[in-house]
Structure 1
Amino acid sequence: MENMVFVFALLLCNGVAFAASFRQDPSVNLKTLVNDYGYAAEVHNVITEDGYILELHRIPGVINKTLSETKKRKVALLLHGLLGSSFTWLVTGPKRSLAFILVDNGYDVWLLNNRGSTYSRKHISKLETSYGFWDFSWHEMGIYDLPATIHYVLNNTDQSNLNLGCFSEGCTQACVMGSLKPEYNEKINFALALAPAVYWTYVGGLVRFLIPFTRILVANVELFLTYEPAGASIKQLLHYALGTYYPGTFRLFDYGPVRNLRLYNSISPPDYRLENVNIPFAIYHGLNDLLVSPKDIDLLKGRLPNIVDAYLVPGKLNHYDFMLGLNINQLCYKRALALMEKYNQE
């Protein structure tokens, strides 16, 4: 029961108010939805090193003639947050969705669906209903899903680097990749981080109250590593929650002292080396975000070596306002896009 409470708390504690008329029917085929908005759409599949089959959605932009002469294209890869999918970037439609805004500005936009999300429920040898399929956290998304996707996108666009846009957990996996596979940092021209969920020292609201229950779960981790209807493993949630037991740290998964000693040669999990993440990072966050506190953003700012913008967006924005807020384009996206354009002109 505790695991269900924890999941629903994550969804409810940062609820965002928006008119029902803005919400698209999730049963509508994504490609049809994009086509109905007047945009082209493609579906691609990527197989990770550990056998997960990820579905990518592509909305190709119009290539600038000057750029096409030099074979240089503006490519953007967008990463969704916890319990999300590529649909997160499209739900608010043209003129409001960052994905469509980027396409309108000439970007070739690719949307990653991490393992376990709605569109990425296949593996070359494991069944979706098996324990083994769901035995992953955002750690695996960082060391497997993101590198495989970057490699695929660059090969298919004939580019040497791309722009990365991430929301919440998507930024977590980007930091994991950058710290453990720093050779991929040079493949990222610019990183736009919206409410990056990296440190959880100051997490608030109902989530803080429910964190003690995670010790119950981790004690029986093989019994509880299953999936929730929205598309996430319990291990993803545990990895965040257990991080609060080590304030001010961003660490690998805590399996308990015995298994930690076997895996890490230490009773405590090691820290991710954020000093390796030298990607140009632009961070945008909200004052009323109970999942990503401004104090946790300060911790992140103190560790990343190449922050090119750190902006507390005006107003009392909560976590999901960065995806669904009615005025988020004016408040945040325009500033972020202007900076991204600067990096694409250099």
Structure 2
Amino acid sequence: MLKFSSVLTLFVLFFVSANALSIDKVFPGNATDVEVINSLINDDDTICKSMVQAQGYACEEHKVTTKDGYILSVQRIPAGRSGKTANKPPVLLQHGIFVDAAPWLLNSPEESLGFILADIGFDVWLANTRGTKYSSGHTSLSPNDSAYWEWSWDELVQYDLSALVQYVNYATGQKLHYVGHSLGTLIALASFSQQDELINKLRSAALLSPIAYLNRIQSILIKAAAQLHLAEELDSLGYYEFPPGWDILGPILEKICNETGTNCSSIMTALTGPNCCVNTSKASVLLKHEPQPTATKNIIHLSQMIRTGTIAMYDYGSGDENKKHYGNSNPPAYDMRNIPTELPLFLGYGGRDMLADVDDVKALLNDLKDHDEGELVQVYSEEYAHADFVLGVNASRVVYDPMISFFNLH
């Protein structure tokens, strides 16, 4: 029998990821994609107060409104624990699916990327994707409205990422480094492939457990759910927010476990691979913050990628419907070969990752083979699985140190 806590961990790890200051500005001129809302938050239930200030760091709560009306929560750590103000460029950290910014802060300050960067002088910004707890606002919709969940990662590319990069760039007056984990890498790669103007606001991008191609995914459970069109079935039943209630999802997952012969008592390993270096004592802390909801449509989109092996926009299921949205019977592709060869990229991937499979990552690297010399750096860890890149207690030595050296070169 699947335990409730085990399934919560499943969600968390699938594609994981001083007083608050009041900021009240309006973007001028060409910065029309986003606006800043007065963000003084008195509630103790904020990432700043519960996770950042609790460790002795200054923290600011910001709000950014996207062009399509979603109000995103962003936290800024403007100084290290010593109180010394950042003297290095801004870094935007973008989490994966089913989580918010919490995993970047969950381990000790010596082990958590958000704190490590702040302590060595970087200006740290933490993103929270639409639909998550602190980014559940909208200018006209409620999460109780089905229309609120009418999006996939296409909209994260088109609206969220561009709004966040533009906001940090405007607020700091500097180009920034970007760090994405899992789904946070996919939206960046898709944006870069379109040679979006946000590239001009970046110094470099670090992609941890990069997700682009998904057809070689090793997780039997995830592959089975995609092949069975699980998300499509839930959507047809009116479950537009994912995950739905345990009473709906539990029996489905148990059936998949039984039919695939998967040992779901070790659900974390079954889904992400055998993570070598995650501190299991942090699981109870993590579950205070996760799982975070996403749109069922987003899960459908990822399932399409698993089934087809393509990196393309959302497929509406028929040529006529696709024509209504794209002017073509097939959804447009995101061509990774179009990523500018001069864009500095750092890729970290692991040999035991069952989501960002090594062969899928190699297919992406093949698309990037013409990258300018020195502008594409790889770090491969044979023992790392999916969650190790964010939650590994030794990630500072294995991944973050070489990544920071890469940042310092750019």
SS of residue in 1 equivalent to 2:348: strand
Aligned to 1:319: 386
For 1:277, which of 319, 336, 339 is the aligned residue? 339
Once residues 121 and 190 of structure 1 are traced to their aligned partners in structure 2, the CA distance between those partners, rounded to angstroms, is 29
Whether 2:397 is the aligned partner of 1:330: answer: yes
Deviations 1:223-257 (CA, angstroms, capped at 9, x unpaired): 3322436221111211111112322x211111112
SS of residue in 2 equivalent to 1:185: helix
Shift of residue 221, structure 1, vs aligned partner: 4.8
Tell whether the 8 Å contact from 2:346 to 2:378 is kept in structure 1 after alignment: yes
User: Which piece of structure 1 moves more, 322-331 or 48-57?
Assistant: 322-331
Aligned to 1:294: 358
Shift of residue 43, structure 1, vs aligned partner: 0.2
Tell whether the 8 Å contact from 2:166 to 2:198 is kept in structure 1 after alignment: no
Aligned to 1:253: 314
Whether 2:179 is the aligned partner of 1:165: answer: yes
Q: Could you say if the C-alpha distance between residues 46 and 292 of structure 1 is closer, same or farther in structure 2, counting changes exceeding 3 Å?
A: same
Aligned to 2:65: 47
For 1:128, which of 140, 143, 152 is the aligned residue? 143
Once residues 130 and 143 of structure 2 are traced to their aligned partners in structure 1, the CA distance between those partners, rounded to angstroms, is 10
Whether 2:82 is the aligned partner of 1:30: answer: no
Aligned to 1:225: 240
Once residues 282 and 255 of structure 1 are traced to their aligned partners in structure 2, the CA distance between those partners, rounded to angstroms, is 33
Tell whether the 8 Å contact from 1:13 to 1:290 is kept in structure 2 after alignment: no
- Equivalent pairs, count: 318
Aligned to 2:377: 309
Letter in 1 for 2:56: G
Letter in 2 for 1:191: A
Letter in 1 for 2:61: V
Once residues 224 and 153 of structure 1 are traced to their aligned partners in structure 2, the CA distance between those partners, rounded to angstroms, is 34
Aligned to 2:91: 76
Once residues 329 and 199 of structure 1 are traced to their aligned partners in structure 2, the CA distance between those partners, rounded to angstroms, is 27
Once residues 292 and 51 of structure 1 are traced to their aligned partners in structure 2, the CA distance between those partners, rounded to angstroms, is 31
User: Which piece of structure 1 moves more, 36-45 or 298-307?
Assistant: 298-307
SS of residue in 2 equivalent to 1:127: coil
Q: Spell out the pairing of 1:9-20 with structure 2 (5 A cutoff).
A: 11=11
TM-score (norm 2): 0.72
Whether 2:357 is the aligned partner of 1:342: answer: no
SS of residue in 2 equivalent to 1:312: strand
Whether 2:253 is the aligned partner of 1:192: answer: no
Letter in 2 for 1:30: I
Deviations 1:93-124 (CA, angstroms, capped at 9, x unpaired): 30101111111111000001110112100000
Tell whether the 8 Å contact from 1:256 to 1:268 is kept in structure 2 after alignment: no
Letter in 2 for 1:111: L
Tell whether the 8 Å contact from 1:10 to 1:207 is kept in structure 2 after alignment: no
Once residues 204 and 219 of structure 1 are traced to their aligned partners in structure 2, the CA distance between those partners, rounded to angstroms, is 23
Letter in 2 for 1:337: I
Deviations 1:118-167 (CA, angstroms, capped at 9, x unpaired): 210000000111101111111111110111111111111122x1000110
Letter in 2 for 1:308: L
Tell whether the 8 Å contact from 2:12 to 2:98 is kept in structure 1 after alignment: no
Once residues 358 and 407 of structure 2 are traced to their aligned partners in structure 1, the CA distance between those partners, rounded to angstroms, is 23
Once residues 52 and 234 of structure 2 are traced to their aligned partners in structure 1, the CA distance between those partners, rounded to angstroms, is 44
SS of residue in 1 equivalent to 2:134: coil
Q: Could you say if the C-alpha distance between residues 265 and 221 of structure 1 is closer, same or farther in structure 2, counting changes exceeding 3 Å?
A: farther
Once residues 46 and 108 of structure 2 are traced to their aligned partners in structure 1, the CA distance between those partners, rounded to angstroms, is 14
Shift of residue 212, structure 1, vs aligned partner: 1.5
User: Which piece of structure 1 moves more, 27-36 or 40-49?
Assistant: 27-36
Structure 2 unaligned blocks of 5 or more = 17-43, 244-290
Tell whether the 8 Å contact from 1:182 to 1:276 is kept in structure 2 after alignment: no
Aligned to 1:213: 228
SS of residue in 1 equivalent to 2:145: coil
RMSD (CA atoms) = 2.7
Tell whether the 8 Å contact from 2:231 to 2:299 is kept in structure 1 after alignment: no
Structure 1 unaligned blocks of 5 or more = 17-26
Percent of counterpart pairs with the same letter?
30
Tell whether the 8 Å contact from 1:55 to 1:119 is kept in structure 2 after alignment: yes
Q: Could you say if the C-alpha distance between residues 222 and 150 of structure 1 is closer, same or farther in structure 2, counting changes exceeding 3 Å?
A: farther
Aligned to 2:257: none
Tell whether the 8 Å contact from 1:185 to 1:277 is kept in structure 2 after alignment: no
Once residues 92 and 162 of structure 2 are traced to their aligned partners in structure 1, the CA distance between those partners, rounded to angstroms, is 12
Once residues 213 and 9 of structure 1 are traced to their aligned partners in structure 2, the CA distance between those partners, rounded to angstroms, is 22
Once residues 12 and 74 of structure 1 are traced to their aligned partners in structure 2, the CA distance between those partners, rounded to angstroms, is 30
Once residues 396 and 45 of structure 2 are traced to their aligned partners in structure 1, the CA distance between those partners, rounded to angstroms, is 25
Shift of residue 210, structure 1, vs aligned partner: 1.9
